[in-house]
């Protein structure tokens, strides 16, 4: 993977004990970051984030976890107002923001959380907050250190500033500063505005014009502001809720569960049904409990608030009329000589960035495209890049027999039975890693016991399996990984899971070493062996 300035900085900050997260150009976190307010991400997690989001900026979580309290000065007025509480010449790490403001990094001060505008033109970031750190880049420019953190220690917040910020009567929030709190950012802003509007309506503000004016003020303070249509929709639903007495939340929960597949969270029910009121949420929980008692749902054994549907019926397997011959499929590294591949199987290839996953997928296509209708689904290559890759192979361009499509998700919608479907690759991020099992299950169902799906996923450096971890191991009948050798001179392909083996010895855990020449030719040593048998390796040979 490419080591950007941002990734290098994130790893450096982590080594200093700071909790780091990836953020976008709009300053919003690119991952669910709540847990990193109480633990520092591992080096592998950080590298994996920047592998997924190579252009990400660096966020530093403030508060106890990083030992930081940060003062944000966003204007000359703020600098002037702050001078009465913090001396201008104070020596502590100082960063210049992309808009010319300042971040002053101080030692963590317990009890001071995020405070907005207590001193006009300044904010405070403590527990529950984060700041964007150098060398991140924004639309107005880049962040840079004026006083670097490794050159001076963190100063202690001056007592006058602490007294001012601890005053509970100071710092009344106004709509212009709503956007600096997470509650008014995407993911929570609609619920926050709806809940506030509902509270005002219950307090008597039920005139449509008054309620709209109040709601619009809140909506304009979000980052980004809510659209006009969303504001009107919120007001409409609030007023409907105030006059409606016949909503059947239990029935809505039953209908929702009836359409759900696999595991789900209680919060998903709240969100999808728009349940903001405590009474409605309590009714929903009772409905869930009744479904558990009725053996419609089951609780997750370890995760609180997670449930799954009980599927009491199983489709009978017509094993008497099923074919027993494996598919006539050929695979790179002669994997077809190690395992039998049967109709309806899934193969997963998990590889590090630039280790050769796409070469594996195209070679699989080349070896089989005359025996099966073949589709190639690419999540990152456009037509020019794909053509460039194919032109490297020793194949007459007119001889390729496949159809190519751009696709980034919902692959089960386009997978066809009886076909060879090659997915390069299945994108997974922090929000859907655990769903890979569901995605593969859906693809398996779509194959319906015919055809074959070969699916590539990303694998982080030093990880034994690809993104999604053990959730991605259930459905594949063959799961292999591709990793770089420590000296970066080549790669190692490993059989992580192999069912229906052809060989006497167990192929699980066996490896081959390889290099890729000219961007297309796989040169492998041709011997599947355990790492303990490395001394018996035969001379390298080309696969074709």
Q: Examine the pLDDT at 281 and tell me if it is beyond 80.
A: yes
CA atoms within 13 A on the CB side of 159: 0
Quote the pLDDT of residue 543.
Answer: 35
How many helices (H) and strands (E) would you count in the chain? 13, 24
pLDDT digits (tens, 9 = 90+) for 95-153: 999 888 899 999 998 877 787 778 888 989 988 889 999 999 887 788 999 998 878 88
Q: Which two tokens stand for residue 260?
A: 């759900």
Q: Check: CB of residue 342 under 8 Å from CB of residue 501.
A: no
Tell me which DSSP letter residue 199 carries.
H
pLDDT digits (tens, 9 = 90+) for 232-250: 888 887 777 666 545 678 8
State the helix-helix crossing angle for 208-220 and 189-202, rounded to 10 degrees.
150
Average pLDDT on 202-225 reads 74
pTM of the model: 0.47
Q: How far apart are CA 407 and CA 381, in angstroms?
A: 10
Paired residues of 113 in beta bridges: 127
262: pLDDT confidence band, cut at 50, 70 and 90? low
* Residue 330: how many other CB atoms lie within 10 Å: 16
259: pLDDT confidence band, cut at 50, 70 and 90? low
């Amino acid at each position: 993977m490419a080591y950007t300035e941002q990734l290098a900085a994130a790893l450096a900050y982590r080594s200093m004990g700071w909790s780091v997260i990836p953020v976008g150009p709009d300053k919003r976190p690119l991952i669910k970051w709540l847990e990193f307010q109480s633990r520092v991400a591992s080096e592998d997690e950080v590298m994996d984030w920047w592998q997924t989001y190579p252009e990400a900026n660096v966020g530093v979580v403030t508060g106890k976890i990083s030992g930081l309290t940060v003062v944000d000065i966003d204007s000359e007025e703020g600098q002037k107002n702050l001078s009465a509480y913090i001396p201008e010449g104070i020596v502590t790490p100082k960063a210049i923001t992309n808009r010319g403001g300042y971040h002053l990094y101080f030692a963590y001060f317990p009890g001071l959380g995020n405070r907005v505008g207590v001193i006009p033109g300044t904010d405070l970031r403590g527990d529950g907050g984060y700041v964007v750190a150098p060398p991140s880049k924004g639309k107005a420019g880049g962040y840079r250190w004026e006083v670097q953190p490794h050159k001076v220690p963190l100063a202690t917040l001056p007592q006058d500033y602490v007294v001012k910020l601890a005053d509970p009567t100071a710092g009344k929030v106004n709509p212009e500063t709503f956007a600096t709190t997470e509650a008014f950012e995407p993911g929570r802003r609609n619920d926050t505005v709806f809940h506030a509007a509902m509270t005002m309506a219950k307090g008597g503000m039920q005139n449509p014009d008054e309620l709209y004016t109040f709601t619009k003020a809140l909506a304009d303070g979000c980052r980004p502001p809510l659209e006009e249509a969303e504001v009107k929709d919120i007001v409409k639903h609030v007023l409907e809720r105030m006059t409606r007495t016949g909503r059947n939340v239990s029935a809505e929960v039953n209908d929702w569960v009836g359409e759900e597949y696999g595991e789900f969270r209680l919060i998903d029910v709240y969100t999808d049904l728009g349940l903001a009121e405590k009474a409605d949420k309590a009714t929903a929980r009772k409905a869930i409990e009744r479904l558990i008692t009725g053996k419609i749902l089951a609780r997750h054994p370890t995760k609180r608030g997670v449930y799954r549907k009980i599927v009491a019926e199983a489709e009978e397997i017509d094993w008497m009329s099923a074919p027993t011959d494996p598919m006539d499929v050929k695979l790179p590294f002669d994997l077809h000589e190690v395992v039998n591949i049967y109709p309806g199987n899934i193969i997963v290839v998990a590889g590090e960035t630039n280790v050769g996953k796409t070469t594996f997928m195209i070679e699989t296509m080349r070896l089989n495209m005359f025996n099966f209708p073949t589709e190639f689904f690419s999540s990152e290559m456009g037509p020019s890049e794909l053509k460039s890759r194919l032109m490297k192979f020793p194949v007459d361009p007119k001889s390729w027999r496949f159809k190519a499509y751009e696709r980034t998700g919902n692959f089960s919608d386009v997978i066809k039975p009886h076909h060879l479907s090659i997915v390069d690759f299945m994108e997974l991020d922090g929000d859907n890693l655990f769903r890979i099992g569901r995605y593969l299950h859906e693809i398996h169902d779509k194959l319906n016991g015919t055809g074959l799906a070969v699916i590539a996923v990303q694998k982080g450096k030093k990880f034994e399996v690809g993104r999604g971890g053990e959730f991605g191991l259930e459905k594949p009948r063959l799961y292999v990984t591709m990793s770089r050798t420590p000296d970066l001179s080549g790669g190692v392909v490993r059989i992580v899971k192999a069912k229906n083996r052809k060989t006497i010895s167990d192929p699980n855990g066996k490896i081959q070493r390889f290099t890729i020449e000219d961007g297309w030719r796989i040169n492998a040593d041709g011997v599947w062996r355990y790492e303990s048998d490395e001394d018996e390796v035969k001379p390298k040979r080309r696969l074709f």
